[in-house]
Amino acid sequence: MVGSGSVNITAQGRSCSVRSFSGSAQLRHAAFRLPLDSKGQSYADLGRLDFDNAEKSKVSFKLGHLGKATEGSWISLGSDDRDPFHIQLDSARLHVARQADLFRGCFRFTGIALSQSKAGLLLRRSPSKETTACLLRVELPPQHV
């Protein structure tokens, strides 16, 4: 994942203990290995998220019980967290490419978030304050055979 460089992390504590923690950053890009089937035997050649809106692409960090998850995007810094991240996709464009059949596409989202489970990456319904609708839009550039 690539951020803007405007990362803000603060923590307080003593040797071997943390009393408070908070952090935030702005996402610009994230690359993913996207499976093409449920068994994960083949993958897209390109899977890249680009975030457009500076305000909507902010992400907060949580560390165990410190740094609570917000309504927006968050990433857990703990290695044992069952929910490692929740990325709101309202300002994101997912570019996908597959050389085998020359497929190219761009996916845009409203009210949907990207999360991870034991089974892999998941798209979850996650309406924002602005809208209660969930929408997945696919843009296909001109293609030829």
pLDDT per position as a tens digit, 27-45: 888 887 777 777 777 888 8
- pLDDT (0 to 100) of residue 138: 93
pLDDT per position as a tens digit, 59-111: 777 776 665 555 678 777 776 667 778 888 888 899 988 888 888 899 998 88
- pLDDT (0 to 100) of residue 79: 67
Whole-model pTM? 0.69
Q: Is the dihedral of CA 123, 139, 91, 11 positive or negative?
A: positive
24 confidence band (pLDDT: 50, 70, 90): confident
